[in-house]
Amino acid sequence: MSLLVKICGLSTRETLDVALEAGADMVGFVFFPPSPRHLALETARELGRQAKGRAVKVALTVDADDATLENIVETLQPDILQLHGRETVARVRDIKQRFGLRVMKVLAVETATDLAPLAGYAAVADRILFDARAPKGATRPGGLGAVFDWRVLEKLELDLPFMVSGGLNADNVAEAVRVTRAGGVDISSGVERSPGIKDPELIRAFIRAARATEELTVR
């Protein structure tokens, strides 16, 4: 099984094209105003058309209400909704049923105790993304370049597909995959020259490094 590579927070035609040509499996678009990667709907429409049929389109939201989600779904036509907030298990279930799309729930991780809600989310989501817990006072839950202790996932038994993110880059992605045995990796700030500004060479380098890990055991 090959490793899934997701480049998140893409915001221009040029950098999206770099990610697609370099072989990204998933491309993520952020809809959260406090983020430097937040997209206007009209920009999202253009990027969604550009990515259609070339990669899985992922819409990242944070505790979005139904009206916001409806606008995003109509405009981007995503394949997956990534829920990066404090959405409850019931809310995840409702979103999935209402919009008829695959849902990836993000679980913030710092210690093993943070895995306590996992079983509930795994029962309703299609995929789990483990990300580093944001520091206290942060204005957004992810895209901060923070790494969590991957050993928390070392003995994880989870039938659902899962990915890891948080502080990944071309130098540490192999170790992250080796320790967690994740089936996918997700990067945003690690391929940026400044917040929200993607660097084409960093995108290419990360995807090359991620592909080089594929002889490792993944699931």
What confidence tens digit (pLDDT) does each residue in 84-134 have? 999 999 999 999 999 999 999 999 999 999 999 999 999 999 999 999 987
Name the active-site residue from 8, 17, 63, 65. Answer: 8
Q: What is the pLDDT of residue 137?
A: 55
Q: Does the annotation mark 171 as catalytic?
A: no
Name the active-site residue from 114, 131, 149, 159. Answer: 131
Instruction: Fill in the amino acid letter for 180.
Output: T
pTM of the model: 0.93
Q: Does the annotation mark 126 as catalytic?
A: no
- Rounded Cα distance between 67 and 88, Å, is 18
The model's pLDDT over 51-82, given as tens digits with 9 standing for 90+, comes to 999 999 999 999 999 999 999 999 999 999 99
